[in-house]
Every structure is written in C-alpha cells, then in structure tokens.
Chain A
Amino acid sequence: MNKLFLVLFYAFCGLLLAISVNLIISTNVWLEMRIHERLVLEVGVGLGIVFSFLRNSASIALFFVLQSMMFLICFWLSKMDLIYYSLRNFYLDDIAISTIKIVFLTLLTLMNLLIVYHLLGKKLTGFSKFS
C-alpha cells in the first residue's frame, strides 16, 4: 500500500515537472509545433514512477520545489490556461477544460493540505520529514 502511494506521489511530481517543461517549450513556436505535450507528460510521469522505486518516502521538499517552479513559470509567461490544455492532451481529449482545471487544482490543493497536516504534527506514514 505504501509503495502504491509512493508511485502515485512521484508520478504526480513527474507530471508537475513535465507541465513546466511544456510551458517552457511553448515559448518557441518551432519546438512547440514539433514536440507533443503528451510525449513530454509521458516521459515526466514515467520518470516519476521509476524514481519512486528508488525512494522509501515521499519527498515533501521535491513536491514543493516542482509545484513552485510550475507556478512561477506560469506567472512569468502569463500562460496559466496552458497547464490545462497540456493535461487535456494527455489522453483526456473528451474532458472539458473546466473539469480538468477543477480536478487538477483540487488534487493539488488537497496534496498541500495533506502535507500541512503532516508537518503540523499529525504524522502520516509515507511522507518524509521536510527533506
């Protein structure tokens, strides 16, 4: 059960990293026209899953770094909606952008709440210390 949590956690971290890469790619139209967002997300999630097998706990610091990086790139480029279009191109073609937005932000918010809950002393198994 703990391993399954780690796989999901690091896959999600990989997703955040891949979204950041897609946002950077979108600044160059030559690259943007040639690199498919789906491929970048597949590689990101795949790397996350592989990484999960090398770790014994979910790294809170890694999650915060990737999340902050994604939002910083978004704000710098003023391309917030591109996050959801990236996700839609990841095998979610038939799902409305508004739904993708709600679910993704809900997941992100709840992951943050879980971590805050963990850091405030209610230690959850699976998470690392803040490292």
Chain B
Amino acid sequence: MKKILAFLAVVALLFSACQKKDETSTTSTTTKDVSVNGVTMSAPMKVDKENKTITVLAEVNGKYLTENTRHAVVFKDGKFGDKPVFRAFQNQNDFLQAMLEIGGVAGNNMTKENGETTYVEGQKIAMSVTWNGAPKSYDINEVISDGNKKTIDLRFGGNEKNAKELNTGCITCLDSCSVGIISNHAYTYGAVEKRGEVIFHGNAAILPKDGTLVAVTYKLINE
C-alpha cells in the first residue's frame, strides 16, 4: 500500500515538474512578461485615442477551435471565462470605459426581453488578431468561422449595467447580446444556443496552438 501511495506521489510530482516551457504560453509569461503587439500581462490593454483603437491581451482557448461557442472574447476571471475562443486578461468593465474614451457610440438597444427579436446596434467595430510570429494581423472573419459563411458584423452594444451586474466577463459575443460589450449584428440572441442557426468556432488552420498569447485589436469604424 505504501508503494502505491509513493507511486501516486511521484506522479503528482511529475505533474508539477513537467510544465510546458514555451515563450508564448501563459505558463512562462508569469515570470517572463512577453509583449504581444504592445500589450503584456502587466499592461493587458493599450488605448490609442488618436487612431481610435484598443488592444487587449488574450490567449487562444484550444477547446473552441473544434467546439461550437457564442463567445469570441471573454475576461478570463468572468463567469464565462472558460467559454470563449480568446480568453482576455483585461476585464470587460475597464474595456467598456476605454471604448467610451476613444469616442465609441454604444447602441444600448438590447434587453433580455427583446434579445431574440432584436439585432444589436451601435458603432461598427473592426476586430483583428495577431500574435508573435504571425505573418499578419487577421480579421475576426478569418480566425473565427461562421458555419453559414455570413460576415461577422461587430457593433458596440454597450450594456454597461448588465456587464457590471452579471460579471460574465463578455467582451465580444458572436450573436446580438444584452450583456456583451460588443456583439454580432448578423444574428439575434439565441441563434447559437437555442435555435441552432449557426455554428461558430476558432479557425484551427490559422490560429496558433492552445495557450498562445494573442493581441486582439478593436478599431472604431466611422461610416
């Protein structure tokens, strides 16, 4: 019996000892503050008022390179921090304030009651993703695939009160949402989860492996 327990202890030791050593993984970045397009663990958000952009540090969640999800970017410590394609290191509330600071106009037209019949409004947003070693900055439509091949049309929904109260951590949702700061005008709420109108997942052919740090940049579009 002692031998069995000693063996289990050795396995536990092995578990803690053989953690991945990879410059772009979060494991090593806790000691090595890697910069990705100007954002780091210690400064996970960069606001550029002149160019009207916000860049947020996140990591790839390999699970949703194959599984269906309605969450594109979520703060890792939010309630839905384990559900997005990109787990952000910046919270949704400060992100929303930054959006307002750079002059974003929020739609604030979504409620829990009208969600299934209403498309999110607000200023148009261009979202791009890059990482160290990436050949270019990829548009959201390249890194997240829509099963219907519809273009993801991001809008600054706002939803300050719900974002604070519910603390889901949602920064970018893939259908119109009454909680997420930014969401997709192409589908109403429930398109992914309830009605199965569409399947979203990360594009494994383009995105790097699970745990890789990426910089997600949001830019206000003036029409």
Interface residue ranges, A against B (CB under 8 Å) = 1-2, 4-5, 8, 26, 29-30, 32-33, 36-38, 79, 81-82, 85, 89, 93-99, 102-103, 106-107, 110, 114, 124-126
Q: Are B14 and A106 in contact (CB under 8 A)?
A: yes
Closest to A95 in B: B19
Report the minimum CB–CB distance from B148 to chain A (whole Å).
Answer: 15
Please give, as numbers and ranges, the residues of chain B lying within 8 Å of A38 by CB-CB distance. Answer: 82
CA distance A1 to B11 in the complex (A): 18
Interface residues of B in 51-110 (CB under 8 A from A): 62-63, 66-71, 76, 80, 82-83
Please give, as numbers and ranges, the residues of chain A lying within 8 Å of B71 by CB-CB distance. Answer: 33
Please give, as numbers and ranges, the residues of chain B lying within 8 Å of A124 by CB-CB distance. Answer: 1, 4
Segment among B23-31, B132-140, B149-157 that sits at the interface with chain A: B23-31
Closest to B2 in A: A1
Report the minimum CB–CB distance from A126 to chain B (whole Å).
Answer: 6
CA distance A26 to B83 in the complex (A): 12
Interface size class of B (residues with CB under 8 A): 35 or more
CB of B205 within 8 Å of the partner chain: no
The verdict on A33 contacting B70 (CB below 8 Å), with A96-B25, A124-B4 known, is: yes
The verdict on A110 contacting B69 (CB below 8 Å), with A94-B26, A103-B15 known, is: no
List 21 A-B residue pairs with CB atoms under 8 Å apart, sorted by A's residue number. A5-B4, A5-B5, A8-B5, A29-B68, A29-B192, A32-B68, A79-B66, A81-B66, A85-B62, A85-B63, A93-B26, A93-B76, A95-B15, A95-B27, A96-B20, A96-B210, A97-B211, A98-B20, A99-B15, A106-B14, A107-B11
Count A-B contacts at CB 8 Å.
81
CA distance A37 to B66 in the complex (A): 17
Please give, as numbers and ranges, the residues of chain A lying within 8 Å of B25 by CB-CB distance. Answer: 96
Report the minimum CB–CB distance from B38 to chain A (whole Å).
Answer: 24
Q: Are A94 and B67 in contact (CB under 8 A)?
A: no
CB of B22 within 8 Å of the partner chain: yes
Q: Are A82 and B20 in contact (CB under 8 A)?
A: no
Report the minimum CB–CB distance from B197 to chain A (whole Å).
Answer: 11
Q: Are A99 and B5 in contact (CB under 8 A)?
A: no
Report the minimum CB–CB distance from B8 to chain A (whole Å).
Answer: 6
Please give, as numbers and ranges, the residues of chain A lying within 8 Å of B82 by CB-CB distance. Answer: 36-38, 89
Q: Are B5 and A1 in contact (CB under 8 A)?
A: yes
CA distance A79 to B5 in the complex (A): 31
Q: Are A97 and B62 in contact (CB under 8 A)?
A: yes
Given A33-B71, A79-B66, A98-B20: 11 more A-B contacts, CB < 8 Å:
A5-B4, A8-B5, A33-B69, A33-B193, A81-B62, A82-B63, A89-B82, A94-B30, A95-B15, A95-B27, A125-B1
The verdict on A94 contacting B69 (CB below 8 Å), with A38-B82, A85-B63, A124-B1 known, is: no
The verdict on A96 contacting B2 (CB below 8 Å), with A8-B8, A85-B63 known, is: no
CA distance A25 to B20 in the complex (A): 29
